Structure 1
Amino acid sequence: MVEKIRRTLERERLAAPGELIHVGLSGGPDSMALISVLSALSGEMGFRLAAIHVEHGIRGADSLRDAEFVREYCRKQNIPLTDFSVNVPARAREGLTLEEAARAARYECFQRALDGQPGKVALAHHLDDQAETIVMMLLRGGGPRAMAGMDYQRGPYIRPMLDVSRAEILIYLHEKGIPCRYDATNGDPSYERNRIRMELMPRLKAFNPNLSATLARNASVFRKEDQYLDEKAEAFLRAYVGPEMGGLTLNKGALGLLPLALQRRVLRLAAERLHILKDLTFEKVEESLFALREGRRSVQWLRNRVFLVGRESCYLGMLPRTEPVPLAGQTVIDLPGWRLIVVASNGLRDAAARFWQPGDHIVRGGRTVKLKEELQKYEVWQRKTYPVIARGSQVLWTMDHGFLEENPGMVLRIERQNDREAST
């Protein structure tokens, strides 16, 4: 097993000479085997070793005994240890499952241990964990990314034992006489992963005894293809996507020319940038791409997030909403993307600053013109966030026209993002 992990470290370039590797050490069989092997390899491969332990506050006295066990082991082995204690049940009451809260707490502690310094965190996921993860994600409706499973490295997190089976780990621990702790919750069928491991996987292995290795091999293939799509989508985002109004704009023509698989990946990565990927469904992605092909204008993604198709661009994000702001004396009006500073006369107390609305009109040269006709040069999301000063539906001022009356009764200064322009 030591040689297998050494080959993984070298092949995947997981540990460089002089690098500090923190082992996520729970005290359980998997992490105890990992720290033992890495300790044996650290001298000849030249990396430094430390440990991180997170006490989750879930199992009472047992959890505290795990923490003491880890501290004593690290003291005897002269391994630097950073340990944390967190209240996971309290976090779970904030809307997360106990599993989700525990995972989030662990990764937060790992990041705190790294503290912005160079180094990596070694996690003890193994071959059978990989297989169980893939099956679990498939049951949840995951696509190619689910089939790719866990990678050997993602950011500062490395998984040196992905080529090692659970059986190999137990044999290694027995042969070396390495003590470990056992978490009783790992046998609790109320956890989805435990049911998959204890009930579903044995039935699947009746059809293919080498199921874990088969799924891991397939995952390696899917992972490379997944990485290729990510690279292509990232290149598209760099070339054709920009920030606007708290969201992103995508070049409509360039997006429309992409193969369907790459279009889907671009939208997923765009959603990831906006931190809404978790709640994004496959159906919403397909609906958005259908709108792109058919020229529909709007798709509601979730809550207040929208996908809008314009003439030359598409917009993904949250369009700001604001109530009309009455003008009274000197008024500072913060609209998303804009700041209007108005000094108005008493005669303009019935005017308000707001975004364009259907029915707005301007009076120019004695002729009434719908403002919508004047705004056709803008994309749909730009029209929806176009600032005006109006009395009812009669617009008194716009960015394009300035004041539409000779004596407007006000002085106005407009600031937009970092660019400033004045109008009086």
Structure 2
Amino acid sequence: MIRTAAGKFASAVKNHRMLEGRKTAVVGFSGGADSALLLVMMVEVLGTGNVLALHVNHMIRGEEADRDEKFCRDFCSERGIPFRAVRVDIPMLAKERGTGLEETARNERYRIFAVAMREGYDCTATAHNASDNAETVLFNLIRGAGANGLSGIPPVRGSIIRPLILCTKDEIVSECGRRGIPFVFDSTNDDTDYTRNFIRHRIVPLAKEINPAFEDAVSSSSEILRRDRAHFDSLSSQYSLSSGRKILSSLDDAVLSRVLLDSLRNAGISPDSEHITNAAEMIRSEKVRSSLSLPGGVFSIDRDNLRAGFPDTPDGTVPSVLCEGVTVLSEDTAAVFVRSSADSSKYINPLKNIYKLSIHVSADSAKINDVVSARERRPGDRYPFGGMTRNVKKLLQSTKLPLETRRFLPVFTVGDEIIWLPGFPVSDRFRPCGDQVAELWFFSEKNSDSSRKE
């Protein structure tokens, strides 16, 4: 077994054909041991003039970040390596986008790499290593990931290559010492308040007490999973929802789950493992028609036809599909749908601190067998309660609710049928008549300090 960083670098480059047909590269250069060794090795393979060392200063660590940028600039100047530094105010961007620092920084780095490659570079090399891969696999395992997450960091993804992916951190630092390659240290790597650092400093050492070659073992497992996943992905790519219910129901679970995952994601839906399981059960059930509310849309079945996305509406507006729990309808309104009234308090109580107005109604859960949605009112909307079919517009004209509130009231539907207008009774057909009681809530008019409470 190869134990040196140089040997593992050569093995990864060869086995994954990282530099096949590639003569120039952008190298992500942070100044740490990983990227310093990567840069030196890439220069050795491609030549000094064919490599661009690209440093991204995230402007997160103040003087320490500026120190790292200067170190990288001096490192390249001393060796004649083309260098570029790009500064990005990650804290500001993260605040504007409502995303985490780590996610924002990662997205910006890859955007900057892509821009640099347009100048004629064949690929971008990043310094992800076997220790990073082990931490990623553990992180995904703890979150309950499937084969994709447990496959770890891909050695090659399009034009992104990772030549150090088989090298452990210890091997990299040892190689830097042997070659006399200087590097800097990021002080935030010791902060165990970050999940990844907690895994690195607390969990990985325990795993290495059981197996000192833990990181190599994870790399091997990741490679096996990537091969298996590629096989199943190849099988699943032959099918889609248009293949029909009869064909899809005959597929192995591993293939069907991948078909559903790809199809739902392509429709703008973000399913979790439970959603995939429920959709597969629907396909294999004996029900002629059924539907499943999902984050971002609906999965529905009508005989042999399967569909994912938003249901069609006559006026072209898109209804808000209500999943179990809270659904934000607009900047100032929200809804809650629960199939069991016993589950409502955990959703309702926090919202009562955010919104001034709350209206709710109970409904027969057993009769809610289609998609529950909230949509804008339309001319001619009607629904029955109290033994009569009522015109929604006239109902609103008779209500004592303030005009501003009435303007934003949606109607709640099951499939195409209106079952409730907030402020009025539930549709006669959905009145509770048994033990299965669902609840629908509508919230509006945020408190002035709600942004702080959220």
Q: Same fold (TM over 0.5)?
A: yes
Partner in structure 1 of residue 39 of structure 2: 35
Distance 1:309 1:357 in 2: 27
Partner in structure 2 of residue 282 of structure 1: 273
1:279-358 correspondence runs (5 A)? 279-294=270-285, 295=287, 296-302=289-295, 304-321=296-313, 323=315
Query: 1:24, 1:123 within 8 Å by CA — same for their partners in 2?
Result: yes
Distance 1:275 1:27 in 2: 39
Q: Deviations over 1:121-153 (max 9, x none)?
A: 111111111111111100010112222111210
Query: 2:28, 2:54 within 8 Å by CA — same for their partners in 1?
Result: yes
Distance 1:32 1:272 in 2: 38
Partner in structure 1 of residue 72 of structure 2: 70
Distance 1:262 1:47 in 2: 47
Superposition deviation, residue 57 in structure 1:
1.1
Distance 1:74 1:270, change over 3 A: farther
Query: 1:21, 1:121 within 8 Å by CA — same for their partners in 2?
Result: yes
Note if 1:5 corresponds to 2:21. Answer: no
Query: 1:53, 1:67 within 8 Å by CA — same for their partners in 2?
Result: yes
**Contiguous gaps of at least 5 residues in structure 1:** 242-248, 324-333, 337-351, 360-382, 385-424
1:146-161 correspondence runs (5 A)? 146-161=149-164
SS in 1 for 2:239: helix
Distance 1:17 1:287, change over 3 A: closer
Partner in structure 1 of residue 57 of structure 2: 55
Distance 1:311 1:266, change over 3 A: same
Query: 2:23, 2:46 within 8 Å by CA — same for their partners in 1?
Result: no
Q: Deviations over 1:71-118 (max 9, x none)?
A: 222233232234321111123323322222221221221222223856
Give TM-score, length-normalised by structure 2. Answer: 0.65
SS in 2 for 1:162: coil
Partner in structure 1 of residue 92 of structure 2: 90
Partner in structure 2 of residue 251 of structure 1: 244
> Which is higher, the Rg of structure 1 or of structure 2?
1
Root-mean-square deviation (CA), in Å? 2.7
Superposition deviation, residue 306 in structure 1:
0.5
Distance 1:161 1:321 in 2: 52
SS in 1 for 2:292: strand
Note if 1:217 corresponds to 2:220. Answer: yes
Superposition deviation, residue 320 in structure 1:
4.5
Distance 1:116 1:321 in 2: 47
- Percent identical pairs in the alignment equals 28
User: Mean alpha-carbon deviation: is it higher for 121-130 or for 193-202?
Assistant: 121-130
Partner in structure 2 of residue 14 of structure 1: 18
**Contiguous gaps of at least 5 residues in structure 2:** 319-376, 385-414, 417-454
Partner in structure 2 of residue 99 of structure 1: 102
Q: Deviations over 1:46-79 (max 9, x none)?
A: 9932222111110012112212222222233232
Distance 1:22 1:292 in 2: 47
Give 2:278's aligned amino acid.
Answer: E
Distance 1:210 1:3, change over 3 A: closer
1:155-194 correspondence runs (5 A)? 155-194=158-197
SS in 2 for 1:23: strand
Give 2:284's aligned amino acid.
Answer: R
Give 1:72's aligned amino acid.
Answer: D
SS in 1 for 2:128: coil
Distance 1:4 1:207, change over 3 A: closer
SS in 1 for 2:106: helix
Superposition deviation, residue 357 in structure 1:
9.8
